[in-house]
Structure 1
Amino acid sequence: MTKEFEEALKQAFQKASAAQDKALEATAAGDQESSKHWCSEYGRYCELFGRVLGISEEKFNELVNAFRENQNKSE
């Protein structure tokens, strides 16, 4: 894997993770419209990045969750 690809992958995970965070924050705040928007964005990222990587949306979602777990461990 090239350094450029690794960086692009990290950015994809960060973008998807941020959308997931915003969806959770909106849900916790009771903001259904914002929650729906960010859940939709997260789904769009899973579809887009999964297609680019040649993997399923579910697999990309698993990778994002693993990325989030690793981020939490390193904090």
Structure 2
Amino acid sequence: MASRFRERLLLSEACPLILDYHVALDNAREKARGAKAIGTTGRGIGPAYEDKVARRGLRVGDLFRQRNLR
């Protein structure tokens, strides 16, 4: 079953990555809001989107370019 799934899975090189620090930042911000927390999912989507909009986020294609991984 896994091999059939992999044959059908396609990822765009432009797909933004959500990293551990995005999740940590999301959870830290939510905790800091205390009683005014907005109820995020805590999965780092907001901070990852901030990086995407600011053009500083990593994308799938960056993983295949050695100069970007230094």
- TM-score under structure 2 length normalisation: 0.29
Higher-RCO chain (CA-CA 8 Å, sequence separation at least 6):
2
Larger Rg: 2
